[in-house]
Chain A
Amino acid sequence: MIPISWYLIFAAALFAIGLFGVLARKNAIAILMGIELMLNSVNINLVAFWRYLNPEAINGQVFAIIVLAVAAAEVAVGLALIISVYRKRNTIVAEDIDMLKF
């Protein structure tokens, strides 16, 4: 049988990859993709914990669903922002959007 450790390590790896994507990519949309990866890894974690530790209660899935909903909302808003910024600045390279500086 699959011990929980496999899921957890997998989720950790996915999280790390997503983190790399957030930190290292130029394009703002690519950053958002990395964020999505991280959110998904969190979902995996949640469900794994639910399944392995307390499957009678439904809390784990509910949590995961809420996370799902929130992720969706956040992506929508984030992409709307990127479009707005693109319209203004004509760029979506994160490094170039640095007006809030000293």
Chain B
Amino acid sequence: MTPLQIIFIINAVITLFAAIKVVTSRNLVHAALWLILVFFGIAVFFVMLDAGFLAVAQVVIYIGAIAILMIFTIMLTRRVAKDSGAQLNSNWWGGGILALIMFAGITWILTHWQRFQTTAPTIPATTDSVRQLGVGLVSPNGFLLPFEVASVLLVAALIGAIMVAREQKK
């Protein structure tokens, strides 16, 4: 058992535990906080996968923006959801079954994939993935178009969100 494996297992357990708490806690704010922990764990995974930039982006965007946004929304819609009473709806068992089936199915299919047990190839230490990523994102031979489209999408989302959520003036 290499150290990497141990870190992996610990991280996985924490993340999964936090995820379960996200979907089961009664208090929404708690759920949001557990969500932040999940995001952290994901970031760690990204680091383990030699995707440093992505890990930082994960932390900044997800934790710094999305989770905060969620907490704000929870606060803004506090009055009704008193955070008490059952948080699971009437068909929760159907969802559970489906989730289990999904998990089982995906796993089972993956086990029949011949490259399931491959190990990580080594990458030369001099690879600057960040620089590569940057170049890829802005070069016309690369992914300039998706990048631009994504930015347009963000603008649209921004404007859309503002429009949808603003006070309706009569």
Report A's interface with B, CB cutoff 8 A.
Answer: 1-10, 12-27, 29-30, 32-34, 36-37, 40, 43-44, 47-48, 50-53, 55, 58-59, 61-62, 64-66, 68-77, 79-84, 86-87, 90-95
Q: How far is the CA of A13 from the CA of B91 in the complex (A)?
A: 21
The SS class assigned to the B binding surface is helix
Are A40 and B38 in touch, CB under 8 angstroms? yes
Interface residues on B, range: 35 or more
Contact A23:B54 (CB < 8 A) given known A6-B8, A17-B20: no
Of residues 40 to 55 in B, which have CB atoms within 8 Å of A's CB atoms?
Answer: 42, 45-46, 48-51, 53-54
The SS class assigned to the A binding surface is helix
Least CB distance, B32 to chain A, in whole angstroms = 7
Contact of B69 among A8, A59, A76 (CB under 8 A): A76
In the complex, chain A residues whose CB is within 8 Å of the CB of B151: 69
Are B146 and A12 in touch, CB under 8 angstroms? no
Contact A72:B19 (CB < 8 A) given known A44-B42, A66-B146, A79-B161: no
Report B's interface with A, CB cutoff 8 A.
Answer: 2, 4-5, 8, 12, 15-16, 19-20, 22-23, 28, 31-32, 35, 38-39, 42, 45-46, 48-51, 53-54, 57-58, 61-62, 65-66, 69-70, 72-74, 76-77, 80-81, 86-92, 94-96, 98-100, 102-103, 106-107, 110-111, 115-121, 123, 127, 129, 132-133, 135-137, 142-143, 146-147, 150-151, 153-154, 156-158, 160-162, 164-165, 168
Q: How far is the CA of A29 from the CA of B32 in the complex (A)?
A: 9
Contact A2:B42 (CB < 8 A) given known A14-B16, A21-B22, A36-B66: no
Are B103 and A12 in touch, CB under 8 angstroms? yes
Chain B residue with the shortest CB-CB distance to A1: B119
Least CB distance, B139 to chain A, in whole angstroms = 10
In the complex, chain A residues whose CB is within 8 Å of the CB of B161: 76-77, 79-80
16 more contacts with CB within 8 A, not counting A4-B119, A13-B16, A43-B46, are A2-B120, A5-B110, A10-B16, A12-B110, A29-B73, A43-B54, A44-B46, A61-B133, A62-B137, A62-B142, A65-B54, A66-B147, A70-B153, A73-B156, A79-B165, A94-B89
Are A25 and B42 in touch, CB under 8 angstroms? no
